């Protein structure tokens, strides 16, 4: 390989990119727009769940019980109702996702020390929110019950009981349990996987459709020189996108970056080489821009979004899909980014993932080089 030929191919591709605003926009603007949209729209945090209350007791005890719900950030009051049809109407119309039903003998049961059933009606059409909201309600009710027990012991002159075992949870790496802190790093991997493959999936196919491939074939440029020359401009754009994404994560989304910035860019470079080579391979095989872009989207976005562990935990997937995730390169880049961002770990801990990414990049580049033939047929 001769550096002069590679340089000439890279210069030719740079000129085409700057003459075609669509390519430049796809390479820079679209990743930023996707990061903004997904970063703000995609959240797994559940708070301010809309609630309606049917307080049949209307007593001091029931009002105190309700105050425990309204005093938390997890529920927001959207009104009071007086019967079950109104409860059903509120949930059907999505005015509320949960309804708290307090029985008429609530105060009397508490005063006599008996168990008091309280009903929580939850909209199960959103199973994730329903499960989390039910867990929040159980914690609030448990805290209210404990307060009643303590008050009873104090009134009777007894010593307040102490729990034999006290659980003191401590969350590492994401103390506030903010979903954006682990969504944004994974989102960077997904976006880079999709955009990088889409960018290069059009390069060789465009040469065939515009009739310029014959000119390239007649030149002394070898296949590896052509591929590397075409990859360099898009690699530069991809690394600039990584820089912008890191800056947005740091200053816009306030995602903590505890690890090495240099390690992020080093792993991103390896990942980009693999994904750009994958797009190049798709372009070489299809020789059609429309088909190449569609195939690149299916081959990158769906696996990266669903099977990388970016949004859904891999351990909860069926065993067959868990095995398939080992073939998804975005999975390893997501692990790398989350480890660097949230845990601040280094190459020793992330060595296996780094090796898998390196193997992916090497295999994709070799396949693209083997598949490209300098002939018209």
166 found inside a domain: no
The answer on 117 and 201 residing in a single domain is: no
Mean pLDDT (whole number) for 238-246: 91
Gap between the Cα atoms of 310 and 325, Å rounded: 12
The answer on 243 and 327 residing in a single domain is: yes
Q: What is the pLDDT of residue 59?
A: 92
The answer on 192 and 64 residing in a single domain is: no
164 found inside a domain: no
Question: At which of 155, 189, 224 does a domain end?
Answer: 155
The answer on 119 and 21 residing in a single domain is: no
Between 26 and 198, residue with greater pLDDT? 198
Q: What is the pLDDT of residue 179?
A: 79
Q: What is the pLDDT of residue 165?
A: 57
The answer on 20 and 60 residing in a single domain is: no
- Would residue 48 be called left, alpha or beta, if left means φ above 0 and alpha means ψ between -120 and 50 degrees? left
165 found inside a domain: no
Q: What is the pTM of this model?
A: 0.81
The answer on 196 and 118 residing in a single domain is: no
172 found inside a domain: no
Assess whether pLDDT exceeds 70 at residue 71. Answer: yes
Q: What is the pLDDT of residue 377?
A: 55
What's the pLDDT band for 162 if we cut at 50, 70, 90?
Answer: low
Tally of residues, the chain: 377
In degrees and rounded to multiples of 5, residue 123 shows phi and psi of -75, 105
The answer on 213 and 111 residing in a single domain is: no
163 found inside a domain: no
The answer on 216 and 252 residing in a single domain is: yes
Domain count, the chain: 2
Gap between the Cα atoms of 56 and 322, Å rounded: 50
Pairing relationship of beta strands 98-102 and 119-122 according to DSSP bridges? antiparallel
Mean pLDDT, the chain, as a whole number?
86
Domain harbouring 145, CATH code = 3.40.1710.10
Tokens 């989207």 correspond to 297
The answer on 202 and 347 residing in a single domain is: yes
173 found inside a domain: no
13 found inside a domain: yes
The highest-confidence range among 36-45, 208-217, 336-345, by mean pLDDT, is 336-345
Mean pLDDT (whole number) for 363-375: 85
The answer on 72 and 25 residing in a single domain is: no
The answer on 276 and 130 residing in a single domain is: no
Question: At which of 155, 190, 221 does a domain end?
Answer: 155
Of the candidate ranges 75-84, 268-277, 278-287, the one whose mean pLDDT is the lowest: 278-287
The answer on 269 and 124 residing in a single domain is: no
- 89: domain range? 49-155
68 found inside a domain: yes
Beta-carbon contacts of 136 under 8 Å, excluding residues fewer than 6 positions away, are 46, 49, 72, 74, 75
Local structure of residue 176 (DSSP, 8 states): T
């Amino acid at each position: 390989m001769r550096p002069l030929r590679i340089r000439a191919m890279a210069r030719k591709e740079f000129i085409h990119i700057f003459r075609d605003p669509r390519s430049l926009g796809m390479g820079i603007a679209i990743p930023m727009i996707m990061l903004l949209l997904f970063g703000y729209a995609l959240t797994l945090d559940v708070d301010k769940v809309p609630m309606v209350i049917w307080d049949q007791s209307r007593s001091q005890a029931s009002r105190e019980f309700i105050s425990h719900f309204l005093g938390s950030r997890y529920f927001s009051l959207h009104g009071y109702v007086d019967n079950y049809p109104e409860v059903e109407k509120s949930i059907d119309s999505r005015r509320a996702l949960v309804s708290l039903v307090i029985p008429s003998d609530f105060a009397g049961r508490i005063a006599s020390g008996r168990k008091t059933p309280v009903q929580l009606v939850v909209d199960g059409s959103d199973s994730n929110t329903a499960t989390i909201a039910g867990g929040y309600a159980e914690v609030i009710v448990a805290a209210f019950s404990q307060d009643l027990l303590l008050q009873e012991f104090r009134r009777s002159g007894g010593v307040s009981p102490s729990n034999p075992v006290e659980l003191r949870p401590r969350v590492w790496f994401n103390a506030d349990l903010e979903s954006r802190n682990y969504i944004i790093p994974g989102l960077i991997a997904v976006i880079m996987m999709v955009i990088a493959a889409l960018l290069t999936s059009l390069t060789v196919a465009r040469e065939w459709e515009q009739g310029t491939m014959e000119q390239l074939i007649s030149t002394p440029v070898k296949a590896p020189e052509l591929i590397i020359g075409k990859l360099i401009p898009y690699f530069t754009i991809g690394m600039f996108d990584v820089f912008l994404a890191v800056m947005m994560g740091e200053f816009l989304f306030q995602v903590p970056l505890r690890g090495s910035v240099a390690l992020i860019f080093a792993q991103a470079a390896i990942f980009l080489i693999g994904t750009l080579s994958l797009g190049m391979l798709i372009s070489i095989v299809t020789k059609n821009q429309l088909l190449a872009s569609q195939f690149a989207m299916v081959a990158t976005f769906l696996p990266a979004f669903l099977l990388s562990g970016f949004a859904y935990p891999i351990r909860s997937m069926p065993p067959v899909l868990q095995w398939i995730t080992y073939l998804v390169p975005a999975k390893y880049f997501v692990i790398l980014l989350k480890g660097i961002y949230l845990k601040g770990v280094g190459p020793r801990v992330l060595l296996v993932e780094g090796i898998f990414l390196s193997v992916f990049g090497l295999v994709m580049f070799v396949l693209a080089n083997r598949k490209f033939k300098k002939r018209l047929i």
